[in-house]
Amino acid sequence: MTVTIYDVAREAGVSMATVSRVVNNNPNVKPQTRKKVFEAIERLGYRPNAVARGLASKKTTTVGVVIPDISNAIFAEVARGIEDIANMYHYNIILCNADKRKDKEIRVVNTLLEKQVDGLLFMGGTVTEEHLQAFKSANVPIVLCATTDEHGSMPSVDIDHESAAFDAVSALTGAGHRRIAMISGTLQDPSNGYARFQGYRRALEAAGIPYDESLVRVGNYRYESGVEAMKYFLELDERPTAVFAATDEMAIGAIHYIQDFGLRVPEDVSVISVDNTRMASMVRPQLSSVAQPMYDIGAVSMRLLTKLMKKEQVDQLRVILPHELITRQSVAAAR
Amino acid sequence: MTVTIYDVAREAGVSMATVSRVVNNNPNVKPQTRKKVFEAIERLGYRPNAVARGLASKKTTTVGVVIPDISNAIFAEVARGIEDIANMYHYNIILCNADKRKDKEIRVVNTLLEKQVDGLLFMGGTVTEEHLQAFKSANVPIVLCATTDEHGSMPSVDIDHESAAFDAVSALTGAGHRRIAMISGTLQDPSNGYARFQGYRRALEAAGIPYDESLVRVGNYRYESGVEAMKYFLELDERPTAVFAATDEMAIGAIHYIQDFGLRVPEDVSVISVDNTRMASMVRPQLSSVAQPMYDIGAVSMRLLTKLMKKEQVDQLRVILPHELITRQSVAAAR
DNA sequence: CTGTTAGCGCATTCAT
DNA sequence: ATGAATGCGCTAACAG
């Protein structure tokens, strides 16, 4: 049924070793025999079996990617960066959603390892001791992507979420705001959640503004939770004059609630966030936001992984990509 | 270095066949020996090699997915549907972006086939004769996902784009609009482009409205092209009173340009589109849009593929999922 | 219920 | 530059 390297060898009148050589572009083949082999391949419609090759060579040219949720625009962007670079180096990607759930994360890491991936890109929630355990049992390189572990024992590429939040809030304090609310993500989340909250607190502190916990609401990153939080803030006796949201979606929810409430953005309330997704410029007023190079995070981490897989020298095992404040129209000076 | 099934067999004092049996949950093993084997596995830290298994069994429990662009929210949603169902049936996904470019599409189909995937989900642009050729050379099932071929020779799951556009435009004619513009996608694209354009024309016709080609602009699906098109329409001597956009993003661009121009939506100009992405309810006014069940398209196509891979009986080789008009605030009666 | 024996399709020595 | 032989780690008859 299926045509194998052996069939090709017979058809071309050579040995399977020779066929293997031409298929793998080994230069040690006379052009003439190479031609013969190619013709036989053509005639028979031979297609190399990558699984057999993988078993024999112990290389599959595929890497595993564990991702929280591919339907989330942020991660999808990272994934695209990964795949583009992977493609460039002739790797394929096995993609697994793990929803930031530890059990699922560890499970997929193991099945990926069983599939003999040549390397692993891990994008997830908190990296726990158990994760490290699973990683250690791998004999292929693993790099953390858009996550970091506390110990700093793993290769990783990420941005500095704390500092990104700091910059966003500083834009607010810099504009003279003193009563600044935050719509946070869950504090259990180390990157989107806790780190951004910390950046908020540090920026407040740097501006000499006391922390007021009644000015912080925890959302779930989504639009609706942005409007909910804003609703709460606007009912406060002393309303905030500015709001920092941990994600664009929540910021947009906040903007819309402010507007529906009869107030104006940014004249009455300034809004800023971090993510700078496409949506940021698709709202009115356009949203100021800290841009995170998600595509690049994917691309750089995949590039790093290729180096590790090829055992090349790498100078930077832990890379932090720069973020950038994109100023649009949602922030005004405090009155 | 690596511990194999043979090592486990020796450690447990059984044959490799027995180890294979317990690993594969074959019931024909005495509970006692099963226990012994599990202990040996534990002690040695044995991890089954899926590549070797794949070679021996001719099944890899992985399916290939070719997708236009994972960073596009629409496709990412489909991908999530695919992965969820795949997971449920213990398949993994190899994901390849092909940007709707024929050469790339055919190339990845071939490498996926080389990797011995058990099945293939194809999401792309036009399915040409060359595609069919490549598909035919596969000896695994393939289903088209969010695409169809003209001949109808392939299993597929999709929505009826023409009818979706028809419904959207009919909502406009139903509201009394006669001067209805369209912001189309490229007409070369069979689903998002041409089919939606055809639906527009048919709805016009059904309402007895003559087709006016000056009322159609071709965009690139993105926000900016929506504002560009709207700019053109509002400069017309006789402005449209309603606009149908082929995607939410273009619709939102149109809405914003209308508002920036000093007109109101929907009072002055009604806007409707198809896609119903999350963004539709994240604009003001909220956008009426025809919902396409992207997640379901992914889920159903993967489910169909599993049936095909298991050679189960399937009653419907070509399924069309229903769409639904979601009425929000962007359409008003014509004055 | 368990063990023996062949491959699966290919890369890779080692010769020649 | 080419061929012969071996084994990668596992499943799948088959035998018992």
Please report, for chain B, the start and end positions of each structural domain, with discontinuous segments joined by +.
5-48, 61-159+294-322, 161-291
Q: How confident is the model at residue A132 (pLDDT cuts 50, 70, 90)?
A: very high
According to the model, what pLDDT value does residue B192 have?
A: 81
Check A114 against B84: CB less than 8 A apart: no
pLDDT at B56: 96
Average pLDDT over residues B74-95: 97
pLDDT band at A166 (very low <50, low <70, confident <90, very high): very high
Q: Could you say which of 3.40.50.2300, 2.40.50.1070, 3.40.50.9100, 3.20.10.10 is the CATH number of the domain covering A161-291? A: 3.40.50.2300
The gap between B47 CA and D5 C1' (Å) is 29
User: CB of A317 within 8 A of CB of A283?
Assistant: no
Q: Which residues in chain A have Cβ-Cβ distances shorter than 8 Å to B112?
A: 92
Query: Same topology for domains A61-159+294-322 and A161-291, yes or no?
Result: yes
> What's the confidence (pLDDT) of residue B149?
86
pLDDT higher than 80, residue B99 = yes
B12 has pLDDT over 90: yes
What integer pLDDT is reported at residue B152 of this predicted model? 87
Contact A79 B95 (CB under 8 A): yes
Alpha carbons B105 and B115: distance in angstroms, whole number: 15
pLDDT above 90 as % of chain B: 94
Query: Mind listing the pLDDT tens digit for each residue in B191-240?
Result: 888 999 999 999 999 999 999 999 999 999 999 999 999 999 999 999 99
CATH number listed for the domain at residues A61-159+294-322: 3.40.50.2300
User: Do B94 and A45 make contact, defined as CB atoms within 8 angstroms?
Assistant: no
pLDDT confidence of residue A152: 87
What is the model's pLDDT at position B158? 95
Predicted confidence band at B125 (pLDDT cuts at 50, 70, 90)?
Answer: confident
Q: What is the pLDDT of residue A322?
A: 97
Which of the four pLDDT bands, split at 50, 70 and 90, describes residue A190? Answer: confident
Q: Measured from the CB, is A25 under 7 Å from any atom of strand D? A: no
Query: What digits encode the pLDDT tens for the residues B23-42?
Result: 999 998 999 999 999 999 99
- The confidence band for A189, taking pLDDT boundaries of 50, 70 and 90, is confident
Indicate whether B255 pLDDT > 80: yes
Q: Please name the fold of domain B5-48.
A: 434 Repressor (Amino-terminal Domain) (1.10.260)
pLDDT value at residue A192? 81
Chain-chain contact of B92 with A115 (C-beta, under 8 angstroms): yes
Residue A24 CA distance to nucleotide C16 C1' (Å): 22
Query: Which of the four pLDDT bands, split at 50, 70 and 90, describes residue A335?
Result: confident
Residue B303 confidence (pLDDT) above 80: yes
The predicted pLDDT at position B256 comes to 96
Residue A16 CA and nucleotide D6 C1' are separated, in Å, by 14
Compute the nearest-CA separation of A60 from chain B (Å).
9
Long-range contact set of residues B193-199: C-beta below 8 Å, sequence gap at least 24: B193/B246, B195/B161, B195/B162, B195/B165, B196/B161, B196/B162, B196/B164, B196/B165, B196/B246, B196/B274, B197/B165, B197/B246, B198/B162, B198/B165, B199/B161, B199/B162, B199/B163, B199/B164, B199/B165, B199/B166, B199/B167, B199/B168, B199/B169
